[in-house]
Amino acid sequence: MIKNDREKQILADLSASRTTAAFPALLTRLDNWVRDVLDDDTGPCQAPGNALTRVFSTVSTFNEILTARLIQETVNTLELRDKRPPPLPFCWITLGSDARGEQVIRTDQDNALIYADPCPDQADDAADYFAVLAEAVNQALDTLGFALCPGDVMASNPRWCRCLSQWLAALEQWVGSSDPMAVRNLTILLDFKAVFGDRRLAAMLHSKGFNTFEAFPAASHFLVRDDQLFAPPKALFNRIRTKKESGCKACFNLKTQALAHIVNGARLFAVNHRIRTPSTIDRLAYLAGDGILSPDEHQAIYAAFVFLSRLKIRQHLHKKADGPGLPANRIDIAGLTKQEKKDLDNALDAVAAFQKKMAAKYSQTWMNFFN
């Protein structure tokens, strides 16, 4: 049995560490703890959902503390070394799986920075300061195993480092656009969490997101269409879509072919019902509580999310990566046990049903003829 206070000690040691030099060893301890919890079949971890939620919560808290420490250290360095204190209030936000509290094994970064609107005569200085700050923090995270984002969705990219008014304008543009890149940016921004700084800036951006979304109902259609770029997990005759690759007889991508549909559906229903939490598990719970998902629908999609997430994390912990700096999201179905194949089959039925529910509610097919 894994003692409940082990993760508390890791978090306490992280908070108490005086320098970032201790971070690599703490990250190793965290990885070992995650592996032990998810491999443990007794005690408080007996229910898979409980173990997964526990891991999600601990890793999310760890990442938030670590990121905040790196930002504060960088701010201090700029102030003491360069005599450059922050010219304006700002807020660092994390995006994607880290914002949803679903990043267990370190992957590439997704983050952004919001700062207060500058006066005209300080706009250039403010932009330069926050560009320097963001670059330093992104590089520091990279040295700790949070790889630089291949798609450049990071605060060091001017597109993801803006003053509040620029963010609000960009959000309105993305919500009202059918352009695939705008839709993808919107998808990224709808999952965010403030981790450091003036959280009122993040709250204002969040509120603008809900208000703007209501003003452009077509945005939901474009998000559905974006999700449908990835085929349903099952083909004709209820067969799982797999393909043969080198060293893999029946390859299946857990992220793009399954989990992404759950995340996309939970996000879309949540934003349409002003559910503010970015967590997929919490979104599903609120949707069930509000009657948007029936008890049976909630149980099926929740069980699917837990099973698929645990399977993906197991791949991340024990298998080779899909590419340099990337975790392994693919599994070889031929290597699963009979029970695992049955559980996977049931999970993918739930995913396909959820994807259909999302499309039935929000897809407006006629719009495809004009966009």
- Here the tokens at position 353 are 């049903």
- Here the tokens at position 184 are 């993808």
Q: How far, in Å, CA of 161 to CA of 232, rounded?
A: 35
Confidence of residue 4 (pLDDT cuts 50, 70, 90): low
Q: Among 20-34, 118-132, 315-329, which is the least confidently predicted range?
A: 315-329
What is the per-residue pLDDT across 235-269, written as a single tens digit (0 to 9) for each? 877 899 998 887 788 889 999 999 999 999 999 99
Side chain identity, residue 305: F
Confidence of residue 287 (pLDDT cuts 50, 70, 90): very high
DSSP calls for 191-234: SEEEEEE-HHHHHHHHHHHHHHHHH-THHHHHHHHHHTTSPPSB
Query: Rounded mean pLDDT of the chain?
Result: 90
Average pLDDT of the segment spanning 211-234: 88
What domains, with CATH codes, occur in the chain?
A: 5-216 (3.30.460.10), 224-369 (1.20.120.330)
What is the per-residue pLDDT across 93-119, written as a single tens digit (0 to 9) for each? 999 999 999 988 888 899 999 999 999
Q: How far, in Å, CA of 171 to CA of 227, rounded?
A: 19
Most confident residue range from 152-156, 212-216, 227-231, 326-330: 152-156
Is 103 in contact with 193 (CB distance < 8 Å)? no
- Cα-based angle 121, 124, 127 (whole degrees, multiple of 5): 130
Ramachandran region of residue 96, left (φ > 0), alpha (ψ -120 to 50) or beta?
left
Q: Among 23-27, 290-294, 360-364, which is the least confidently predicted range?
A: 360-364
pLDDT at 42: 47
- Cα-based angle 230, 235, 241 (whole degrees, multiple of 5): 65
Tokens 């008014």 appear where?
165
> pLDDT: is 323 or 349 the higher one?
349
Tokens 């994607």 appear where?
96
What is the per-residue pLDDT across 347-369, written as a single tens digit (0 to 9) for each? 999 999 999 999 999 987 645 54
Strand extents, DSSP E, 49-191: 90-95, 111-115, 161-163
| pTM, two decimal places | 0.90
pLDDT at 43: 43
Q: Among 1-10, 196-205, 300-309, 340-349, which is the least confidently predicted range?
A: 1-10
What is the per-residue pLDDT across 172-201, written as a single tens digit (0 to 9) for each? 999 988 899 999 999 999 999 999 999 999
